[in-house]
Amino acid sequence: MTTTHRRRRRRRGGPGAGAQTPAPGEPARPGVATGGGGLETGNPGTAHRFARMCATVAAVLPFGLSRVVDPTFIGFALINGFTFGVDLLLLTAMHGWLGWPVDVSIALGYAAAFGLGFVLNRSLNFRSHAPAGRQVLLYALVVAINFGVILLGVGAGLATLGVEYHLARIAAGVCEGIFMYCAMRWVVFGRQGDTPA
């Protein structure tokens, strides 16, 4: 469909006509304008179900944890557990099977997993509607700090000291998980960024 046809359909009240910007914290619906001026094309049902599932898990945590653990932490743990598995799979394929250097394998697996983690956390967990450009820049800065200080410092450092590379990567993963959750919740997807432009 051409741009001209889309404009005519909007003027006639077709799909996309009269799109409203969602309130901060409210998941966007397909065909509803986002803060970035675009249209949210994801499935809102998936984001709502994911949020309800995380809230349910957080509510039944034992030992008083249900009072202190935010549902977004549960969502972050689920998403990043999945992307960490992707990271380890890529690391194994590149270093274990293809024989690539461990630092190159760590870097490429890391980049792929963190790109996927950004998309899933933004759409499912934090359900942000702020313009993505600023968030991508903040995320890139957070990832660069995490990569240089935690991943290479802890992960590659332990591997260099003789720790098996999977164990070294898991140790680095624990450290980066804490850092990344805090950065994503309060910096990258912080509430101040959810105000529509």
- Give pTM, 2 decimals: 0.65
- Mean pLDDT over residues 128-138, rounded? 91
Percent of the chain with pLDDT over 90: 43
**Of the given ranges (15-24, 124-133, 146-155), which has the lowest mean pLDDT?**
15-24
pLDDT band of 104, cuts 50, 70, 90: very high
In this model, does residue 120 exceed pLDDT 90? yes
173 or 119, which is more confident? 119
Residue 62 backbone dihedrals phi, psi, to 5 degrees: -80, 175
- Do residues 126 and 139 lie in contact, with contact meaning Cβ atoms separated by under 8 Å? no
pLDDT digits (tens, 9 = 90+) for 139-167: 999 988 987 888 788 888 888 899 998 89
Q: State which H helix or E strand residue 184 sits in.
A: none
User: How many other C-beta atoms are found inside a 10 Å radius of the C-beta of residue 175?
Assistant: 16
Query: What pLDDT score was predicted for residue 166?
Result: 87
Nearest CA-CA partner of 183 in 147, 155, 146: 146
- Do residues 112 and 88 lie in contact, with contact meaning Cβ atoms separated by under 8 Å? no
Q: Which two tokens stand for residue 140?
A: 């890139």
In this model, does residue 78 exceed pLDDT 70? yes
